[in-house]
């Protein structure tokens, strides 16, 4: 799909970012973990993976996680991105029945944990099985159950996208926005903020879709070239463009929505209810985690080699897209 030249909007996240002090150790650990489970089959794929800098995202999205938790979180994020490419780009991702079977097996693995191996179950499922053993050791029953539900919603959304691509269907704006909150993969990642804090939040204080929208739409801006090249209409810019907007108008509209969502997040933070001294402290930590995610996602989107073409296309966009990172 051809896109006329465009510029990314002046993106800014007004939250300070910082790196986890265990970042370097975590990156070394995760690279070894990825090799151990044979998640990447060629040296070219591994080089591309290194250039994507997923450990950078993890270290900045969870700056206060312990070393053990950061190792686990970084492994998870890297696994999630590999699986995301499995859905979107790999040959199996074009076969609905095969992907449906994979999803059913993955969800069953979380519901009924069992021993999995690369030889018998494949690299992705073996990696997921090992991750889930470590997650269960760090999560209480409620958090583990919510993680399974979030993962199931994510994979269901991915299958929805797969079917749309198979039939050449472009989702409506409302359809896309709702399902994007699942396909972003942020819902299970948000639960890891609670895991890293070591406490679960009351239901009223849990993850809000605003943060998810900021992350998803920022990703849509930076991944626009990638999706357009594959003729994949699951991108808010492309969905809006279908309503007779130009590419630049759609890009600007997405940027405005990101700014509006961040402003709404700040308003909601100011209006948070009072619970108890202990709960209020947990809520403040969780809100700080959401801010870290938004700042980290923007900084990573600029730093990663995953969206290099988009940065070139947008004409010095890396200079106009910044967070308040220290």
- Mean pLDDT in the chain? 89
How many domains in the chain? 1
**Which of 235, 184, 175, 188 has its CA nearest to residue 212?**
184
Give the E-state strand segments of the chain in sequence order.
12-13, 322-323
At residue 314 the predicted structure's pLDDT band, cuts being 50, 70 and 90, is: very low
User: For residue 9, is it within any domain?
Assistant: no
- Looking at residue 94, its pLDDT comes to 60
Residue 174 to residue 171: CA distance in whole angstroms? 8
Burial of 295 per CB tally in 10 Å (0-12, 13-18, 19+): buried
- Looking at residue 296, its pLDDT comes to 98
- Looking at residue 250, its pLDDT comes to 96
User: For residue 8, is it within any domain?
Assistant: no
In this prediction the pTM is: 0.91
Q: Which residues pair with 296 in a beta bridge?
A: none
**Which of 137, 130, 135 has its CA nearest to residue 37?**
130
Query: What is the average pLDDT across 188-199?
Result: 95
User: For residue 254, is it within any domain?
Assistant: yes
User: For residue 5, is it within any domain?
Assistant: no
- Looking at residue 89, its pLDDT comes to 58
Decide: 64 and 17 in contact? Cβ < 8 Å.
no
Per-residue pLDDT of 241-256, as tens digits, reads: 987 799 999 999 999 9
User: For residue 4, is it within any domain?
Assistant: no
CB atoms within 10 A of CB 92: 12
Residue 258 to residue 256: CA distance in whole angstroms? 5
Decide: 245 and 253 in contact? Cβ < 8 Å.
yes
User: For residue 312, is it within any domain?
Assistant: yes
Token pair of 109 as six digits: 């693995």
- Looking at residue 39, its pLDDT comes to 94
Residue-number span of the structural domain to which 236 is assigned = 15-318
User: For residue 272, is it within any domain?
Assistant: yes
- In order, the DSSP letters of 287-313 are HHHHHHHHHHHHHHHHH-STTHHHHHH
For the chain, helix, strand, coil in percent to 5 are 70, 0, 25
Residue 134 to residue 164: CA distance in whole angstroms? 34
Decide: 254 and 10 in contact? Cβ < 8 Å.
no
User: Radius of gyration (Cα) for the chain, nearest Å?
Assistant: 19
User: For residue 130, is it within any domain?
Assistant: yes
For residue 71, the domain's CATH number is 1.10.600.10
322 pLDDT more than 70: no
Per-residue pLDDT of 98-130, as tens digits, reads: 888 999 999 999 999 998 999 889 999 999 999
Q: What are phi and psi of 322, to 5 degrees?
A: -145, 155
Per-residue pLDDT of 229-288, as tens digits, reads: 888 899 999 999 987 799 999 999 999 999 999 999 999 999 888 888 888 999 999 999
At residue 325 the predicted structure's pLDDT band, cuts being 50, 70 and 90, is: very low
- Looking at residue 176, its pLDDT comes to 96
């Amino acid at each position: 799909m051809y896109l006329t030249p465009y510029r990314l909007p002046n993106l800014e996240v007004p939250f300070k970012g910082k790196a986890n002090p265990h970042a370097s150790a975590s990156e070394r650990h995760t690279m070894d973990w990825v090799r151990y489970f044979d998640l990447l089959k060629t040296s070219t794929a591994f080089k591309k993976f290194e250039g994507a800098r997923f450990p950078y995202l993890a270290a900045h999205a969870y700056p206060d996680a312990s070393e053990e938790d950061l190792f686990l979180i970084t492994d998870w994020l890297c696994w999630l991105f590999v699986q995301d490419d499995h859905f979107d780009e790999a040959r199996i991702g074009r076969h609905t029945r095969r992907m449906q079977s994979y999803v059913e097996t993955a969800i069953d693995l979380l519901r009924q944990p069992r021993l999995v191996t690369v030889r018998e179950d494949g690299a992705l499922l073996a990696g997921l099985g090992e991750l889930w053993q470590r997650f269960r050791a760090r999560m209480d029953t409620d958090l583990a159950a919510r993680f399974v539900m979030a993962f199931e919603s994510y994979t269901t959304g991915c299958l929805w996208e797969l079917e749309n691509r198979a039939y050449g269907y472009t989702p409506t704006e409302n359809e896309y926005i709702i399902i994007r909150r699942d396909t972003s993969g942020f819902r299970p990642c948000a639960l890891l903020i609670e895991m890293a804090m070591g406490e679960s939040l009351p239901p009223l204080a849990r993850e809000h879709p605003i943060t998810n929208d900021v992350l998803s739409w920022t990703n849509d801006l930076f991944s626009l070239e990638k999706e357009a090249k594959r003729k994949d209409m699951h991108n808010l810019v492309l969905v809006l463009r279908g309503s007779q907007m130009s590419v630049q108008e759609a890009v600007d509209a997405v940027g405005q929505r990101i700014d509006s969502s961040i402003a709404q997040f700040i308003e909601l933070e100011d209006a948070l209810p009072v619970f108890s001294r202990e709960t209020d402290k947990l809520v403040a930590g969780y809100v700080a985690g959401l801010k870290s995610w938004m700042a980290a996602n923007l900084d990573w989107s600029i730093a990663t080699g995953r969206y290099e073409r988009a940065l070139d296309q947008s004409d010095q966009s890396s200079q106009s897209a910044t967070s308040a990172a220290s």
